[in-house]
Structure 1
Amino acid sequence: MKYTLIALMLLIFAGCRKEVDYDFVNEPTQIVVESFICPTDDTIKVNLNYTKNYFDQQNDRNQLLKDATKATVTITNGTITKTLKWSPRNIAFILATKEMPLLEDATYTLSVLTLDGKLATATTKIPKKVVGAEIEIKQGSKKADRRNDKIILKQVDEKAINNFYEFRLVVIYEQNFGGQLIQQTQAAGNYLVSDENDKLDNVSASFNNLIIISNQQGQNIKNYYRGIFIKSTEEYFKYLEASKKNNEASGNPFAEPVSLFTNINGGVGVFASYQIEYKKVDF
């Protein structure tokens, strides 16, 4: 049962265009593919796993995972095809992006051929770059060593196309202890925004955050807000959307089942792409 639950979690966290109802008890074992590519990354990474039929005693879990490392994984842009290599250190198949440059508006196809001859494929088109990324800070009320802030992240919406975005905010604290700089990073949340009907000119997300502005000795702490701006494909968006719904439903026996999404033909999982930009503001 443990392995069945692991496979269930892997699939719930995968998402894209097609909904599937998967029977983890009766369905045969399937390969799970998970990969996200971005032009600014230095490595293309592909994770492979297997779903596990609970009553299928012929397919030992450990053997399935060993077989996954021996699969043939390729990526192509239609002109160049490259084979990814298994990396025990990364526990994934990898390829340096200098061997396969990732360009905006270009389409890439991922193929996975297993030892038993099963083929899983998927395609993604890299979105255009993030435009007009901005951070706006509205300092709120101050009480003792703390302050409430409102932080707004914005980017310009691309017209005449369905768009999908994610905004993340990170708070970074820096403090000097005896001449040594100590840095602490804290995630302040993330938001998903879609413009499937192409009605927006700009997209934004607002974060309310309580920050520490001084330590117990009354010394000021240097604070940074780091905004992470993402423009993604639909499958990337659906992946995170399903993940959030699953987290919200976790532990709730009355929650509705989370739909599974996949763009993997011949398997399940996700192959998606995105563009990313960072902005940092200190005060």
Structure 2
Amino acid sequence: MKLAPYLLLFLVILSGCESLVTEVPNAELPSTESKLVVQCFISPQTTRINVTVSESVPLFGESDAQGNVIDNATVKISDGTREIIIPYDPASLLYTIDKPPFQIVPNGRYTLTVTDGKRTATGTCTVPQNQALIKSYEIDTVYNHDYPGDTAVKVKMTWGDIPGQANYYRVRASMYVEYTIARGTTLENLTRQRVRNRFSFDWDDTIGRNNFQSDVNLDGETFDSPSGYVSMPTTAVYDFGNGNKFVVRPNWKILSISFFVLNTDEAYYKYHRSLELRGNGENPFAEPTIIYNNIAGGLGCFAAYNSSVLVYQP
């Protein structure tokens, strides 16, 4: 019987909480419309132009299983004199063209137009004129900090800032490796085969450096990249029981390592940095980040970069 007053108090509090919930009729919700979402990055060093076209999800709408990809748009790119239509490729879900009739050139200005008949989105960009000079690089093998006992390749690089102008950079690196894998599914038909694959380095930005950097207050200085890592192929053991094992040691061999410094336009830098900041959910006190947009009539980014490359071959 002594529980009755507490039960009554709980019911009063519960009813008070329910009264705080207000249902808003659909007619009073703010009206929002989906927009075309466009993403395209061009460079003199790439022969293929890829454009992704989708549509945003309205505030109170739902996305479909295809991620709202638009496959019936008309996508055009112009250099100010000539204009080409970029066809849709259903296999890649991209609007793509290899070796377009006109080249992407340094200091060239380009316009991208996307329309689906009822909406039109446009973007313009200018390709940076200069390439950054890669000054030095470091290559080392270390124990993999994610998988103790395994080996990782570690790289770093430095490059010189292009003086007298605002610059935005992104670093990349990739490694071409030959190694041994297993082919087959049973102990009787398993064989060893040598293959070649390219691996991209992941950058460690925990020490303060980032793979995106700008030369604000650093004009003409030498820049350092963060450390990049690639985990090397490891030994695979196929255990069929009763002591029947098939062991494949990768015996990997580095064929080449390519270092890239992308001199990007401001839009490329701001767009990718905003994506990085938006994806950093580890800090619960971080303020929400707005994704950078330079697409008129839509969302997304049309930007350019001019890349320099240095290739190491053992």
Measured against the shorter chain, the TM-score band is 0.7 to 0.9
Match of 2:241 in 1: none
Query: What displacement does 1:49 show?
Result: 0.7
Q: Which moved more, 1:261-270 or 1:165-174?
A: 165-174
Match of 1:5 in 2: none
Question: Is residue 262–residue 268 contact of structure 1 (8 Å, CA) maintained in 2?
Answer: yes
Matched, 1:268 2:299: yes
* Structure 1 segment 116-265 matched on structure 2, within 5 A: 116=118, 118-137=119-138, 139=140, 151-175=155-179, 180-183=193-196, 185-190=198-203, 191-197=211-217, 199-207=219-227, 209=229, 221-223=252-254, 224-249=256-281, 254-265=285-296
Query: What displacement does 1:142 show?
Result: 8.7
| SS of corresponding position for 1:70 | coil
C-alpha change, 1:69 and 1:159, in structure 2 (3 Å) is: same
- In the alignment, the residues of structure 2 paired with residue 73 and residue 219 of structure 1 have an alpha-carbon distance, to the nearest angstrom, of 45
1:174-204 deviation line (CA, Å, top 9, x unaligned): 3357884344554432411111345233333
Percent of residue pairs bearing the same amino acid type: 21
| SS of corresponding position for 1:100 | coil
Query: What displacement does 1:34 show?
Result: 0.8
Query: What displacement does 1:238 show?
Result: 1.6
Question: Is residue 230–residue 276 contact of structure 1 (8 Å, CA) maintained in 2?
Answer: yes
- Counterpart of 1:246 in structure 2: which amino acid? R
User: Counting strand residues as a fraction of each chain, which structure ranks higher?
Assistant: 1
- Counterpart of 1:200 in structure 2: which amino acid? G
Match of 2:208 in 1: none
- Counterpart of 1:264 in structure 2: which amino acid? I
1:73-129 deviation line (CA, Å, top 9, x unaligned): 21111111222222222312223333121000010011122211x221111101134
| SS of corresponding position for 2:106 | coil
Unpaired stretches in structure 1, ≥5 consecutive residues: 1-24
C-alpha change, 1:282 and 1:218, in structure 2 (3 Å) is: farther
Q: TM-score, normalised by structure 1?
A: 0.73
| SS of corresponding position for 2:92 | coil
C-alpha change, 1:80 and 1:197, in structure 2 (3 Å) is: farther
Question: Is residue 162–residue 198 contact of structure 1 (8 Å, CA) maintained in 2?
Answer: no
- Counterpart of 2:212 in structure 1: which amino acid? L
Please point out which of 98, 102, 105 is paired with 1:103: 105
Q: Which moved more, 1:255-264 or 1:198-207?
A: 198-207
| SS of corresponding position for 1:261 | coil
C-alpha change, 1:209 and 1:260, in structure 2 (3 Å) is: closer
- In the alignment, the residues of structure 2 paired with residue 269 and residue 281 of structure 1 have an alpha-carbon distance, to the nearest angstrom, of 35
RMSD (Å) for aligned C-alpha atoms:
3.9
| SS of corresponding position for 1:260 | coil
C-alpha change, 1:211 and 1:45, in structure 2 (3 Å) is: closer
- In the alignment, the residues of structure 2 paired with residue 162 and residue 183 of structure 1 have an alpha-carbon distance, to the nearest angstrom, of 39
Question: Is residue 180–residue 251 contact of structure 2 (8 Å, CA) maintained in 1?
Answer: no
Q: TM-score, normalised by structure 2?
A: 0.66
Unpaired stretches in structure 2, ≥5 consecutive residues: 1-29, 182-190, 204-210, 237-247
Match of 2:75 in 1: 73
- In the alignment, the residues of structure 2 paired with residue 84 and residue 130 of structure 1 have an alpha-carbon distance, to the nearest angstrom, of 28
- In the alignment, the residues of structure 1 paired with residue 56 and residue 234 of structure 2 have an alpha-carbon distance, to the nearest angstrom, of 50
Number of corresponding residues: 255
Question: Is residue 56–residue 68 contact of structure 2 (8 Å, CA) maintained in 1?
Answer: no
- In the alignment, the residues of structure 2 paired with residue 119 and residue 235 of structure 1 have an alpha-carbon distance, to the nearest angstrom, of 20
Which one scores higher on RCO, CA 8 angstroms, separation ≥ 6?
1
- Counterpart of 1:74 in structure 2: which amino acid? K
Query: What displacement does 1:256 show?
Result: 2.5
Question: Is residue 200–residue 230 contact of structure 2 (8 Å, CA) maintained in 1?
Answer: no
Query: What displacement does 1:52 show?
Result: 1.7
Larger radius of gyration, structure 1 or 2?
Answer: 2
1:144-175 deviation line (CA, Å, top 9, x unaligned): x8778763312332222111111123345433
C-alpha change, 1:69 and 1:174, in structure 2 (3 Å) is: closer
Please point out which of 26, 41, 51 is paired with 1:36: 41
Question: Is residue 150–residue 232 contact of structure 2 (8 Å, CA) maintained in 1?
Answer: yes
